[in-house]
Each structure stands twice: as C-alpha cells, then as structure tokens.
Amino acid sequence: MVVSAVQPRHPQFPWFEDGYVVALVELDEGIRIVTNLVDAPEAADPIGTRVAVRFTEFAGDLVLPLFAPEGP
C-alpha cells in the first residue's frame, strides 16, 4: 500500500522518464520501501492504493523493484 508519494521536478535521474513518482510503499509484512510508482493515473492521489511489485531491468544489468497499482 502506498503510504506517501511525491513527483520530483528537478534533477531528473537519466534512467527514469520525466514525471516519475517516488513512493513509500508498505508491504503486507510491515516493511516499508522507497520505490517508484509506475502505471498510476497522473491526476489520482496514490496514497492508500494497493500495489504489486514489478521487477524492471535498466541498462542491461540494473534490476529495480518498481510498484504498480493492483487490479485489472
């Protein structure tokens, strides 16, 4: 579940597209992780949204756990 989220404006990381969302996600086990929220509606407030992990490969050997809203 998304606990907190922010959309940074500057500086941009080279491997993320402009407009990315940094989120604090609380896992069902109680652990919290800072990650990126992907495929979320831009105008929607993501706080409280249940999410699922998606491992994404960048630059060939960098794999990061990103999270996307659960559901259809």
Q: State pLDDT tens for residues 7-61.
A: 877 776 676 666 788 999 999 999 999 999 998 887 788 999 999 999 989 877 8
Whether the predicted model's global pTM rises above the 0.85 cut: no
Mean pLDDT of 59-64: 85
Of 22, 46, 42, 44, the residue nearest 33 (C-alpha): 22
Q: Give the model's confidence band at 1: pLDDT under 50 very low, under 70 low, under 90 confident, else very high.
A: very high
- Tell me the pairing of strands 32-37 and 51-58: unpaired
d(CA 14, CA 40): 20
- pLDDT given for residue 72 in this prediction: 63
Q: Give the model's confidence band at 4: pLDDT under 50 very low, under 70 low, under 90 confident, else very high.
A: very high
